[in-house]
Amino acid sequence: QGAYSMVENLLGKGDTLRSLVRLDVTHDMQEVLQIVSGFRGALQLLPKPGFVDTFQGQPGGGDPGQRFDFAETWKAYQPKVFDFWFGNGKSATPDQQQLDAANWLWRQDGEATPALPEEYKGKTTYVFGVARNTPCGIREENGRLKMVGTTLGDGTVTWSSGRIDNVGSYYYLPAKHGDLPSTREYFPALAELLRSGATSGLLSSPPSVRDGEQARPVVYDAGPPTLDGGEAVARGLLGGSPRSRVAARAKRRLEVSVKAMDLRFLTKPVLLGHYEQDSIAGAEALIDRELLAGDLGQRYNLGLYAGPRGAATVVLRAPTEQERRRGSLSGAVVTGLGAYDGNLSVADLTEAVRTGVLRYLLQVVDVLGKDTRELPLATLLLGYNSSANLTVAASVEALLRGVMEANSRFHETTRLDIRVSRLEIVELYQDTAITAAYALRQMPERLADLTRRYGVALICRPQLEEGQGLRRRLFDSGNPSYWPRLMVTDAATDHLSASGGSAARAAGGQPVARRPRTAIAERLRFLYVGQRARAESVVQQRQPGLVEMLLRQQIHCAVWQEDFGRVLFQLLVPHDFKDAARQLERIVLVVDDYTANLPWELMFADDQRAGGESLPLALRTPVVRQLAAGQFRRQVRQGLQRKAFVVGNPSVEGFVAAFPDPQRPNAVNPPALPWAEREAYEVAGVLQGLGYQVVAEIGSDRRACDVLTRLYQQPYRVVHISAHGIFDQLHADERRRTGVVLSDGLLITAAEIEAMETVPELVFLSCCHLGKVDGAADDSGERTVRDGNRLAASIARELINIGVRCVVVAGWAVDDQGAMIFGKAFYQSLLLEGHAFGQAVYEARRAVWNANREDITWGAYQAYGDPGWLAEPRLPGGRRDQAGYAAPDELLDELASRRASLSRAKERQTQREIDAEVQSLERLLKERCPAEWQRLSAVQSALAALWADLGDYPRAHAAYVAAVQAEDGRGQVPIRDIEQLANIEALMGEMAEAEPGGALIDSALARLKGLDTLVAAVADGDHGAARTVNAERCALRGSAAKRKASLFAREVLRKGKSRTEINQAAKEMKRALQESADFYGTGEGRPGEPDFRPYNALNRLALEALLLPPEGERQAAIDLARHAGRAASDAFERSASPWDAVMESEALLVERLLDRRLLADGDAGAAVFDELARAYRERLSHLSIKPRELDSVAAQVCLLSKFCDARQLASGDPGWQRAADRLIALAEQIRPGACQRLDRPLREPADEATAAGPVGPGRRRATRKS
């Protein structure tokens, strides 16, 4: 509706016009203005009379009531124009005749807002430009005319002026008015608009900063003229930037988007982060389990995993041929994030991302070759959930910086044109994903210098993409799988080498003098690292040796003393940490050589959280230790087979002779341990019940040779030993030893442990004193365990060093019965109930406490390892899943999660597995869902979809009916539920007998027709208005009618039918097929248009082929089938959807039905079958297709065979039976057993002899009896 930029120019205040006058050596400002005002086209750009532009008439905005179509207005303006550079009073003064001639255009529209014709509304898109300032008015201040500007425009025209009626949609492109057609980085988005009428590459709402200030009018005046050249002035006159937007060299494009989705649906490699000495948990574990079949865990167990910054691990799945052609891959890139101390910075994360992407690019070269390639990469929001320093925006920035730096460095080093061009930031929870999408919008401006330096066209998708399985956060769970770390170390030595071997080195590389070992640390360093918090404190022990002395007194007393725990808490924990320690829900204690020997589990803090019950730390909070190992086996071979070694109460004969005690000359061998023997039998029984192959050495008759022989006999996944243990005890040979006591004075020591070639995942040592870690001196304080005596090294440390995932050891003597209770409860929780290691240890401690509150055995056991390790990951979560839900949305989230898991299944579920899923769902509804919730419409809707996925269609039907009939005050039941209800009815109808089945299908068709009528935007009498077609609903109606035709085909093929009954059923079948084809045709759209649906078109053409289209229309139908196949193939290149891929083969099948070559006899027909079989085989062999999808493809081919058999029986044309033979064989090739039809008509003898094309290996033709 006109532009104030032209008013600005006619007043001599426009920058481009002022530059033009500066370049003109023959005309002054007034002369140039008069020349410009003489052009009718220029005057036609003045604002339309009556148009109110942005802020006009508002405080600080333009003066209202300006009439630019009056000559007197311009004369009145002239004395109010002040210009320091060109002189005052210089402005255009067009005469009335010129203004009337220009105003002719506005008079055609009248006073109404300009509008396009109504029929253009659905075909027109308006793309606004974006600029920092756009003229939107003039105002007089102290007798001077000044311009008013706004950010709500493109530099030439405001958005208010450009917004006219009957435009279907609006988008915003970040470029000035004249640069809109020359901003190359947005050409793909513009092309997408032309193809489909929509794009995610442009904003569909005005750009703004989240929580930013509202736009305000800005008053300004003309500045000094610039010295731009003629080319820049020409661009300025068109509303463009003064500098050329044509890049000196081609920019490398990087598209970035944010997608909310379940990681299990990823189809591209994903970038993950991993800290040193951290376990594989959370999203990393999910990807390893669901997408990579444990490949990450395998590398982790082999010691070949990223952790230190600068290291990266890449796992790429072998690409299919189709993926190889498309240049796509799947897999994971794990980059090391360094030490887990909560101090990760943007620079550190950028370095880690760069390392990971570089390793990914190198791996791609190895897998796909050196051809030019643009690669996709997905990534998590690295660092956000694990560092106190990184916000979502900081994580996004580091990801983009790292990718751009890696692309640039890789190209400079290798000169290969292989780079990451599409980065997808993936987040499960919608709220965090939205935050990331807002942060991404700020990146082009924030990283402008970097993109210019690297020559990158950074395209940040402004809208959040929503994928499969996204979740809406229901409550702040603090990530229940996350365990915060409390690192407690000797403040004097924790910065030195932990290995105790070579000297540590300072930053400059010079050796640092080691402090001599002392028995007691004087100061401890505490470092707490949580998800979003980091705290550090150093505490000094006021009286060295006090805690150690108290500990020696306590461990010689088997009774729990609350006061001792309270003293420990007060002496060991800094004041800054005391309140936080009381609030911990779980904790990993990272300890060193010295602090590992302190009884942290025994600490007691006065707290009344547990309903008035006073509990020590380890009984109130799950506690797991991790040892900061300086020495560890670099390559770990893990025992993964379900084998276990169990030792209980072995013989200790000969112990006294080997370990004499001068103070006790009459000492006897240690007593037998009947409860340890019982514990071993209990453990062995649990393991055998879970399918473990158990090797047991249980009983006092088991000698050392028996135990040691079995220990190395085969690799074990679990090792459990219940026996006597000693620590640092003097042997008869004057050397000290530590280990598990066996007969003949022998032990299982650190040397035997280190000799194990294959490492167990879990080792449980229910023995005395073996949890003590070397490093503390004896009473004299002059000797340490490692000084010249490897045999006395702590078995606990050795197990950890060689790579055992989880270790449970006793730090001091334990009660025999208490140890049995602990072991039984631990394995029951870990193996039978499927709890993680940390929770299983907690349950075992609680079991001992509940059995005998005076027994301190629960505190003697120390658990080292990965708190999230699952011994049986396939088991459900046990008791942690038994609590009732607090809100219906939790139930809905669980149901959605189960649907996602079913849809991700890579193997076809057996009936037993389906029954287990059904029983699990029934148990969930009974135990965790209040009865009144099950009547909620949203719950019924979610249950209906899940029942349908499980194949329980009657329950799905009942739930859909309940959902659509119930009150839905929150609007949570979509229209789609009515569609799915109809689809279920049609499916059940096809499975039923003819009469009830037909009624169900008729009900489905009636529902869909009624739904179309209900949502139609057109009244019955208004036939001239446009009506939108719902292609999906048309396909559902077509499918229902096709199922109805299937019922009639069944009647045609039913044994014992008369010719009259066959003909009648065949007539009804043809009527239903025609009805189905019409429904599909209504929703297929026009070829070449964005709304064209190849699926609908191919279904219609296949059915019309069965109905024998007129000869004159056959070639057009064949051409359309070919076009649909090409369109589906093009769609597959963009979507990677298996449905799009298979449609290319289906198009060939439809073509062979239309040209009737599938019906041909002899070699010609056999050649057609070979052609089709090859097309399906090649396409399916290159796809990652799920069993359910494969079943659907085969079922459609099998259904066509049924129609062909029915056509043969009704028409007598043997070609239809040959076609049915070939279709059955094709379906069997797609999925063996998918088309075992027993309703085949009897083949005539002549046909039997001349039939061409395979029927399927071993198939016996069904006979028809009259």
Enter the tokens of residue 411: 């190209």
């007598």: which residue's tokens? 1212
**CA proximity to 126, closest of 174, 162, 176, 170:** 170
Predicted confidence at residue 1244, as pLDDT, reads: 56
Contact 189, 461 (CB under 8 A): no
For residue 874, what pLDDT band results from cuts at 50, 70 and 90? low
For residue 478, what pLDDT band results from cuts at 50, 70 and 90? very low
Listed range (10-14, 442-446, 783-787, 1250-1254) with the worst mean pLDDT:
783-787
Q: What is the mean pLDDT of residues 683-692?
A: 85
- Give the residue with greater pLDDT, 147 vs 795: 147
- Helices 1138-1154, 1187-1211: inter-axial angle, 10-degree rounding: 10
Contact 899, 1188 (CB under 8 A): no
pLDDT digits (tens, 9 = 90+) for 1044-1064: 999 999 999 988 888 898 899
CA 644 to chain centre: 36
* Structure letter (DSSP) for residue 559: B
Predicted confidence at residue 509, as pLDDT, reads: 38
**CATH 3.40.50.1460 for domain 637-875:** yes
DSSP states of 974-1001: -THHHHHHHHHHHHHHHHS-HHHHHHHH
**Whole-number percent of the chain with pLDDT over 70:** 82
Listed range (68-72, 480-484, 912-916) with the worst mean pLDDT:
480-484
Predicted confidence at residue 235, as pLDDT, reads: 57
Residue 502 has pLDDT above 50, yes or no: no
Enter the tokens of residue 165: 């009626």
Alpha-carbon distances of 751 from 747, 792, 794, 863, rounded to whole Å: 10, 9, 10, 22
Enter the tokens of residue 759: 């490492």
Q: What is the mean pLDDT of residues 448-471?
A: 86
Enter the tokens of residue 809: 């050891």
**CA proximity to 863, closest of 796, 814, 817:** 796
For residue 1172, what pLDDT band results from cuts at 50, 70 and 90? very high
Contact 235, 178 (CB under 8 A): yes
pLDDT digits (tens, 9 = 90+) for 545-561: 677 777 666 666 667 78
Alpha-carbon distances of 365 from 321, 360, 839, 1011, 1164, rounded to whole Å: 16, 9, 44, 54, 45
pLDDT digits (tens, 9 = 90+) for 1173-1188: 998 888 887 666 777 7
- Give the residue with greater pLDDT, 860 vs 1034: 1034
**CA proximity to 1205, closest of 990, 1000, 1050, 1074:** 1050
By DSSP bridging, strand 725-730 and strand 736-741 are antiparallel
Predicted confidence at residue 570, as pLDDT, reads: 84
For residue 788, what pLDDT band results from cuts at 50, 70 and 90? very low
Predicted confidence at residue 397, as pLDDT, reads: 92
Give the helix/strand (H/E) hosting 623: strand 623-627
Contact 171, 128 (CB under 8 A): yes
* Residues found in the chain: 1266
For residue 396, what pLDDT band results from cuts at 50, 70 and 90? very high
> First-to-last CA distance in the chain?
81
Q: What is the mean pLDDT of residues 288-313?
A: 83
Residue 1259 has pLDDT above 80, yes or no: no
Residue 749 has pLDDT above 90, yes or no: no
For residue 665, what pLDDT band results from cuts at 50, 70 and 90? confident
Residue 1257 has pLDDT above 90, yes or no: no
The region, left, alpha or beta by phi > 0 then psi within -120 to 50, assigned to residue 54 is: beta
For residue 496, what pLDDT band results from cuts at 50, 70 and 90? very low
Q: What is the mean pLDDT of residues 1216-1220?
A: 93
Residue 287 has pLDDT above 50, yes or no: yes
Residue 211 has pLDDT above 70, yes or no: no
**CATH 3.40.920.10 for domain 252-466:** no
Residues 279, 1105: Cα–Cα separation, whole Å: 59
Predicted confidence at residue 1249, as pLDDT, reads: 42
Mean pLDDT of the chain: 81
pLDDT digits (tens, 9 = 90+) for 313-345: 999 877 665 555 555 678 899 999 887 765 778
Residue 1197 has pLDDT above 50, yes or no: yes
- Give the residue with greater pLDDT, 623 vs 597: 623
CA 1044 to chain centre: 40
For residue 905, what pLDDT band results from cuts at 50, 70 and 90? low
For residue 231, what pLDDT band results from cuts at 50, 70 and 90? low
Residue 1028 has pLDDT above 50, yes or no: yes
DSSP states of 1227-1243: HHHHSTTTT--S-PPPP
For residue 189, what pLDDT band results from cuts at 50, 70 and 90? confident
- The overall longest dimension of the chain from CA atoms, in Å, is 132
Residues 998, 996: Cα–Cα separation, whole Å: 5
**Whole-number percent of the chain with pLDDT over 90:** 31
pLDDT digits (tens, 9 = 90+) for 561-618: 888 888 888 888 887 777 777 777 788 888 887 788 788 888 888 754 444 467 888 8
For residue 377, what pLDDT band results from cuts at 50, 70 and 90? very high
Listed range (87-96, 154-163, 322-331, 1152-1161) with the worst mean pLDDT:
322-331
3-state percent helix, strand, coil for the chain, nearest multiple of 5: 45, 15, 40
Predicted confidence at residue 930, as pLDDT, reads: 85
Q: What is the pTM for the complete model shown?
A: 0.58
Residue 1098 has pLDDT above 50, yes or no: yes
Where does residue 640 rank: exposed (0-12), middle (13-18), buried (19+ CB within 10 A)? Answer: middle
